[in-house]
Each structure stands twice: as C-alpha cells, then as structure tokens.
Structure 1
C-alpha cells in the first residue's frame, strides 16, 4: 500500500542531552511536562501509541477470567468503537495488559496483538469493549498495523511516544515521517538505559534527517523537528 494508506507518524519524545528517555528520576517540573503536552497538541493527531511497559500505569490491573465455553475465538480484528475523537494505542504482542477500562481519559483503547494470545484474553478484551487488531502470527508487522489503523479507524495522524525499542523498530522499518524532540536541559549520564532509538545491538538503521524547525520553549527545553531524507 502507498504512504497515503497509513497514518502520518510523528515520533514525539523528551530525551536528555545525551539521548536517554527514562524520565522518572529527572524530577521534571510541571512546566516542562505541560510544555510537552502543549507541543503534542499542535499536531492535531487522532491517536497516540506506546508499548506495553509504558502503558501499564494507564491500563491498571484487572483479572482475566477463564472462559466457561471452550469454543475457539477466530483471530479476526475486533472493533468495539470507530467513532472516537481520539485513540490510545498499545503495542502488546503477547496480550499481557490487564485493562480496567476501554478508555483512557475518554480516548478509546486499541490494543495490537499477535495471534499467539489466548482465547481467554480475547474474550476478556471483548467483554471490556476494547478494540484489538492482529499485527501478525508471532511478530508484529508494523506497516500492516498502521494500514489497519487507517482503514479500520480512519486515523490519519499518529503520535509515536514509545520506548527505545519501539521507536527503533519504527525507524528500522522506515515508518517515521517526522521526529519531534523536546530536548531536556538534563545530562543523564546513565549506561544501559533506553535511548531515543534502540534498534540493534550492532549497526543500527542509519537514517539521515533534515531540520524543519528549532525553538526554545519554556523550562529551557529546545524543540527540534526533523523529517527524514528519502
């Protein structure tokens, strides 16, 4: 499918000066956090996407009951709602998130799975009214996932706010259309923690970018926007 058949993907992140993205020990001010949200809103995206670990605090903890009926559930996409103003998308290949609700701050939840998940888990999602898409049998095909998000939900613009591995996977698949980074005035200095893109332990997928804009924002943040050279 052509590029028009998938959402425009903007990777929007707050890295440190040395490219680290685990922010919990940084003691970011409320001003900085608000600035991140303000800049995100300027894109008018219909959806945002993160991975399972990042989504856990939003999902909460519920019990996945065992089904009384043993009839298999077909591995077909389940669309609980397609008219939401905004969507929260989780990449959860193994189906480990135990959702308490089908929405996050009124944003409808879509979870992306592989076909390896259990029937009990699919029944759990259906009972909660949570939409799910299959991205592959045992591994996610990210391009296909994006195409489904466009076709099933009409999502034209998506904010990718993942961890290093998810961002790196999108980078490797050449699925990032724009990079938006609010560089925090922090030198992290840690070793072995996630960075903005963690695609490979060896040579990574080198991508050349061109600078679109540069702004100083509140809290000494610097907002850089890039687009890939294709």
Structure 2
C-alpha cells in the first residue's frame, strides 16, 4: 500500500486595522505592526518548514519572505535545517514576473499552478523556482498533500486576503494568529483580511480563542479555526 503522508499544520498569520483592512488604498505599503511584532513574526517563520504567500500579494508588495535574525537562521542550521524555510506561492494564471524579490532571496522556492500554466511558468522561472502542476485547478487540499509528501510539517500562510479566505472557507487552517493594529483605514477599496465566503458554521459559530495579548501597541489574537466554543 502507498505511504500516507500527513498534511502540514497550517498557521495563518495576518495583521489588520481595527476595521478589518490589511492595507490602505495608497500605492505605499501601510505598516500595521511594530518592531516587537515584526520580531514575533520572524520567530514564527524560523519555526516553520515552509512559508506561503499568494501571487497577488507577491505582485502588490514584492516581499522577500525571509527569517531576518542571523541567530535564528544559525539555530535552524544547527538543527540540520536550511537557514530559511521553503518559500511557496500559488498562481492559477502563471502571471509571476521573474524580477520579483521573492525568487532572489532565501533558499528553495516552489510554485503551485495549473497544468495549462506550468510550461510557461517553468520557462519564465527557470533556475529560480520549482514549478509543480496540480491539474486543471490549484486546489489547496492537493497543495497540502504535496507539501506533506515533501516533508513539510508546519506551514505558515502570510496572505493575502483571498488566500486566507480560501483556507478558512475550506476548513484547512489549524491556527489563526491575527494582529489588530490601532488604525482605522475607512476606505472601501482597501484590501480586507477576508472576503465574503461560506465559512463553516456560518455567522453564529464562535471560534475557540487560544490567546489574547498585547505586543506593544497591537493586540495578538490566536484562534483555533477548526474548533468552536461549547
């Protein structure tokens, strides 16, 4: 019988304004966190096997998605791990420019796409990233199965809103770490933490709160999305 591989533990991480926005509508990135919280996120990254971000966030923010602390990178290497976790993205269209900083920093990179988009994306990202075709669609369940086969045990998902929405709507997130910043964006066209979706249990289901604490001037809320309060 074929070996059954365990899907990774999925941790969603996001920072939002009081009114639920990930950013404002200006061309400049809105910084929602503070130095203490950025360091907390860096520690989270260092404890994961893979980091995932959606293609829209790659194009909009051009992130590097790294473990910034040299001490944390050294600790990973001392444990027999690469200094940086695997960097993962997904794109049904294959519209990912090779000039993005994501490809030119860190260690291994992996892109999940469709069978139709894979040839063009492999040509565009030759030497920069592995391209894995999942079939006619990029299904998150298949993505997690493949990461499990690759030995990924802990996956940190860092956005954006469409990706977070999909993980939560499909009940694939084991933990949500949500930081609330003391800001009000108030712009209808600003991106939100999640989009409208048929979330499991509907609007009356109350998720179990794991932790609530302040980190400087922001509040960290940890939830177990697969669990409800009694």
48 and 199 in structure 1: CA distance in 2 versus 1, 3 angstrom threshold:
farther
Shift of 1:49: 0.9
Does the Cα contact within 8 Å between 2:91 and 2:138 map onto a contact in 1?
no
Map 1:24-103 → 2, pairs under 5 A: 27-28=30-31, 32-43=33-44, 44-56=47-59, 57-58=62-63, 84=82, 85-100=84-99, 103=103
Does the Cα contact within 8 Å between 1:14 and 1:36 map onto a contact in 2?
no
Shift of 1:50: 1.0
1: CA distance between counterparts of 2:154 and 2:94?
A: 25
2: CA distance between counterparts of 1:171 and 1:21?
A: 16
1:117 aligns with: 117
1:79 aligns with: none
User: Which of these residues, 172, 179, 182, is aligned with residue 185 of structure 1?
Assistant: 182
172 and 224 in structure 1: CA distance in 2 versus 1, 3 angstrom threshold:
same
1: CA distance between counterparts of 2:34 and 2:57?
A: 16
TM-score by length of 2: 0.75
Segments of structure 2 that go 5 or more residues without pairing to the other structure are 65-80
Report the 3-state secondary structure (helix = DSSP H, G, I; strand = E; otherwise coil) of the residue aligned with 1:168: helix
Does the Cα contact within 8 Å between 1:149 and 1:155 map onto a contact in 2?
yes
1: CA distance between counterparts of 2:91 and 2:58?
A: 9
2: CA distance between counterparts of 1:149 and 1:181?
A: 24
Residue correspondences, number? 198
Shift of 1:18: 1.1
Segments of structure 1 that go 5 or more residues without pairing to the other structure are 60-82
2:72 aligns with: none
Map 1:1-230 → 2, pairs under 5 A: 5-22=6-23, 27-28=30-31, 32-43=33-44, 44-56=47-59, 57-58=62-63, 84=82, 85-100=84-99, 103-117=103-117, 119-125=119-125, 127-137=126-136, 139-152=137-150, 154-200=151-197, 204-205=199-200, 206=202, 208-218=206-216, 220-228=217-225, 229=227
1: CA distance between counterparts of 2:5 and 2:22?
A: 30
47 and 36 in structure 1: CA distance in 2 versus 1, 3 angstrom threshold:
farther
1: CA distance between counterparts of 2:55 and 2:18?
A: 26
Query: Which structure 1 residue ranges, 4+ long, deviate > 6 Å from structure 2?
Result: none
Deviation larger for 35-44 or 86-95: 35-44
1:60-89: CA deviation from partner (whole Å, max 9, x where unpaired):
xxxxxxxxxxxxxxxxxxxxxxx7441111
